[in-house]
Amino acid sequence: MKKQYLEAGKIVTTHGIHGEVKIMPYTDTPELLCEFDRLFIGKNHNEVYITKSRVFKNMVIAKIQGVDTVEEAEKFRNKILYMHRDDLELDEDTYFIQDLIGMEVKDAENGVVYGKIKDVMQTGANDVYVVQGDREYLIPAIPDVVISTDIDNEIMLIKVLDGLFD
């Protein structure tokens, strides 16, 4: 089941004297987090508005509307920020990692189930799916291997290339 709110980052500390916060982004790039003027905070997903933000040393410095002092900003320390799924458009064949976690991985040719995706390693060249079944499998997220990804039914079909599991 798709989550409505996606973890976007964590407020790690305050910044400056005007109530800004420093956010450790959970996104591919910190710049992506700067594109949002609406985020949600904490387990209750309370809506907050970001009036300005910028990247500083792979972190995001943000000003939350209505937070004007260090003391007010301090209340947000260690809080998780979320973005709403509908606020982010993905390219075709691009998925949220948390939608892939738990997905069943099957052989497209013979129906053998290898296990479920337990992690996604971002290597730079391509992602690698860590699949746990009777053993751990590393599956490269490339078109030659991943035949289809059905998020709604939580099934990924793969083609096992020669030497893939050796």
pLDDT at 2 over 70: no
State the average pLDDT for the chain. 91
- Which token pair is 154? 């939580």
CATH assignment at residue 58 = 2.40.30.60
> Based on the structure, what is the number of domains in the chain?
2
pLDDT at 1: 54
One-letter amino acid of 162: D
pLDDT at 75 over 90: yes
pLDDT at 143: 92
Whether 69 and 114 map to the same domain: the answer is: no
Within 10 angstroms of residue 46's Cβ, the number of other Cβ atoms is 11
Which residue bears the tokens 């420093």?
A: 22
Q: What is the pLDDT of residues 100-122, one digit of tens each?
A: 999 999 999 999 999 999 999 88
pTM for this entry:
0.67
**Which pLDDT band holds residue 28 (cuts at 50, 70, 90)?**
confident
pLDDT at 54: 96
Q: Which domain holds residue 69?
A: 5-87
Which helix H or strand E contains 13, and what residues bound it? strand 5-15
Whether residue 121 contacts residue 130, with contact meaning beta carbons closer than 8 Å, is answered with: yes
Boundary (domain end) residue, out of 87, 112, 130 = 87
Range name among 56-60, 110-114, 119-123, 162-166 with the lowest pLDDT average: 162-166
- Average pLDDT of 45-61? 95
